[in-house]
Amino acid sequence: MKRAAVFLLLLALSGFVLAQQPQQTPNQQKQPSEAGSSAGAAPQANAPAAKRPPQAKTQPEFDAYQAAIKNANDPAAMEKSADDFAAKFPDSELRVLLYRTAMHDYQSANSAEKMSEMAQKVLQIDPDDPEALIGAAEVIAERTRDTDLDKDQRFAEAQKDAQRALQTADTDVAIPAGTPQEKIDMYKGFLRSSAYSILGTIAFNEKNYVEAESQFRKSIDALPSQPDPVVVLRLAIALDNQGKYAEALKEANRAVDLTQENTSAGTLARRERDRLVQLTGGSPAAPPSKPPAGAAQNSSPPSP
């Protein structure tokens, strides 16, 4: 989950879910006349088929939730408030929202291990939550190294979670009624794109460059309006490792266009482009620098 604009959309959708909770507490049920007027109404034509948003069972539960969510954007405080809430209301559906918020907060703080820990807490409550499945799998895919003795086991776990997220992105996202269809489509596309990116990264780390190419292309196609620069760069390197230099140069140039020069991904994209220019005699968008060592000599994909 690396694209800032779509990540903000993801949080915005979560915000819509949170904003609906006061209307779902026992003290704020519809009046009989309101219920009767809407009971026979036809469903919206574009209403997404999704499970309902979590809701409180009692007013004290919802009040405690409101107090806890105020700690959003402070990862440690958010985690503690989620734990305290879960201890007081061990059966509450709102626990998922609090732990998911803590997961996003740790992700924003670049705290991968804590992000994974929060994802696991969400999955203990809802094993099919696609955001948590992706969060847990992404940490494994990015942090597992060739020297890890349990590498195969970790990759198998991440693959299982990412593949499950591809399924539950359609069935287990709580979308409030009235959410614009374009936002739903972008949100679900973001989830699928992230899941395919994880599968591609695992294949790349296993030196299965054909499979990595396939998964990275699926990742890009799942959200074509917001291509992930790191995925595009990794696709270029996967093609490079297969000797598909012309195709690789095309993707490397695209990665250069999508990145800033003074960033980690931007520096790597320009190095890969310059290497491929030397191999193909193509023309870079800017004068080539000294080409780095061959991509095939470095099997680790660039980090986000």
- Please give the pLDDT value at position 14: 52
- Please give the pLDDT value at position 198: 98
- Please give the pLDDT value at position 247: 97
153: alpha, beta or left? (left if phi > 0; alpha if psi -120 to 50): alpha
Q: Which residues contact 269 (CB under 8 A, 6 or more apart)?
A: 229, 233, 236, 252, 255, 256, 258, 259
Per-residue pLDDT tens digits for 139-184: 999 999 989 999 999 999 999 999 999 999 989 988 877 889 899 9
Per-residue pLDDT tens digits for 35-53: 333 333 334 444 445 578 8
CATH of domain 1-23+51-212: 1.25.40.10
Hey, what are 240's tokens?
A: 């490079």
- Please give the pLDDT value at position 48: 41
Hey, what are 251's tokens?
A: 């993707």
- Please give the pLDDT value at position 274: 95
- Please give the pLDDT value at position 174: 84
Q: What is the pTM of this model?
A: 0.81
What angle, 0 to 180 degrees and rounded to 10, lies between the N-to-C axes of helices 181-205 and 151-171? 160
- Please give the pLDDT value at position 301: 58
Residues of the chain with pLDDT under 70: 1-50, 282-304
Domain with CATH 1.25.40.10 in the chain: 1-23+51-212
- Please give the pLDDT value at position 32: 35
- Please give the pLDDT value at position 238: 98
